[in-house]
Amino acid sequence: MPTIQLEIGPQTNIKELVADFPIAEKVLTEFGLGCVGCGVSATETIEQGARAHGLRIEPILAALSQARLSGSVPPIADEDRRPQRRAPGAFAGRAKIKHIVPIMSGKGGVGKSLVTALLALGLRRRHLTVGILDADITGPSIPKIFGLRTPMTIEPDPNRTTPDGRPQPLMVPSQSRSAIEIVSANLLTDKEDTAMVWRGPILSGVIRQFYEQVTWSDLDVLLVDLPPGTSDAPLTVLQSLDINGVVLVTMPQALATMIVRKAANLVHQMKKPILGVVENMSYFIAPDTGKRYDIFGPSYADAVAELAEAPVLARIPIDPRKAQLADEGRVEEIDDPVCDALATALLDAIAAHPKPTETISLI
């Protein structure tokens, strides 16, 4: 029988609890609180974890106490592990989403999806409710880096019907281990490598459906992983969602300034602010010598920020460990101060650009 040092209560930190009482990990996993091994749990209490996952805390505390007495995981009722999401009947329109922030890049492969994930993790570590709309429809990588494979469930919308009289389908977002809500074209099918071919106008429509026909919870922040470039699809998002402003992701390349100028012009034409610039793969620190190498050349972050009339939110080094965790679907295990730095800088930028009070509705 383990000797427990820690008192188990709503304010108990999840990581400390598991360190002290390993079976707690199994109990929490049974409840779908798979965040035990992930970076978010280091800063999360049982109460915060339960709330983020939409679970009642009482059965969790009861099961942990029982496990402490018996040394094994007690049976857990199905209803106690089912997130209390908004019932479809209660879905009378849109969730209340406080801030919508698209993440944009001038070109593919600069790490836009990874930066989106790191931002989401940093925001979750501050106990905010976070969603990711993966609008990078032709190369959706968000589900993969979060290790999500099960397709989203679809429910009939009791309030709306299609033109032929059938109830309109509503998508239920998938939930990541640390309770980030995720909607992606990759979660419409269970075949991870199905190539999706979408024509421009359909693509824009799909992105809008991913916002409108989804039972999002009331979120503090919805991050939108945009398709790379300045084509129709990112334009639709900028036009049709009531966004706070855009985060631009770049790499240290001379070309970046040119591409970013184009992206910045587009955003400014839409009369939306650029909240900040993230320079990814900015440099590399050799783990053995601590020496810094500018692999892709000197930083252009300041020049890009000047063009974008926005601050540099972070310079993120090349880090093979992050790439590996992302590749293995374990991005939430990244426990790196850069997540906190990104979240703090983004929240500061959001506060510095209050949205106009009138609500611009969807077109």
Interface with ligand ADP (CB under 6 A): 105, 108-114, 141, 280-281, 316, 318-320, 322-323, 326-327
Which is nearer to ligand ADP, 46 or 223 (by Cβ)?
223
Closest residue by Cα to residue 41 from 53, 59, 58, 23: 53
Is 311 within 8 Å of 349 (Cβ atoms)? yes
The secondary structure of residue 133, as a DSSP letter, is: E
Minimum Å distance from CB 209 to ligand ADP?
Answer: 21
Alpha-helix runs per DSSP H in 53-106: 57-70, 78-81
Is 185 within 8 Å of 76 (Cβ atoms)? no
Beta bridge partners of 175: 181
Minimum Å distance from CB 246 to ligand ADP?
Answer: 14
Is 170 within 8 Å of 162 (Cβ atoms)? no
Which is nearer to ligand ADP, 138 or 209 (by Cβ)?
138
Closest residue by Cα to residue 214 from 83, 77, 344, 94: 94
Which is nearer to ligand ADP, 115 or 349 (by Cβ)?
115
Minimum Å distance from CB 213 to ligand ADP?
Answer: 24
Q: Which amino acid is at 258?
A: M
Which is nearer to ligand ADP, 13 or 105 (by Cβ)?
105
Gap between the Cα atoms of 52 and 179, Å rounded: 6
HEC states along 277-289?
EEECCCCEECCCC
Which is nearer to ligand ADP, 49 or 143 (by Cβ)?
143
Minimum Å distance from CB 335 to ligand ADP?
Answer: 15
Q: Would residue 316 be called left, alpha or beta, if left means φ above 0 and alpha means ψ between -120 and 50 degrees?
A: beta
Minimum Å distance from CB 279 to ligand ADP?
Answer: 10
Which is nearer to ligand ADP, 303 or 318 (by Cβ)?
318
Closest residue by Cα to residue 180 from 44, 8, 26: 44
Tokens 């709503």 sit on residue: 10
Which is nearer to ligand ADP, 46 or 103 (by Cβ)?
103
Minimum Å distance from CB 240 to ligand ADP?
Answer: 22
Is 105 within 8 Å of 249 (Cβ atoms)? yes
The secondary structure of residue 185, as a DSSP letter, is: G
Strands 246-250 and 292-293: unpaired
Minimum Å distance from CB 166 to ligand ADP?
Answer: 36
Minimum Å distance from CB 283 to ligand ADP?
Answer: 10
Which is nearer to ligand ADP, 206 or 281 (by Cβ)?
281
Which is nearer to ligand ADP, 13 or 282 (by Cβ)?
282
Minimum Å distance from CB 74 to ligand ADP?
Answer: 39
Q: What are phi and psi of 77, to 5 degrees?
A: -65, 140
Beta bridge partners of 354: none
Gap between the Cα atoms of 322 and 105, Å rounded: 20
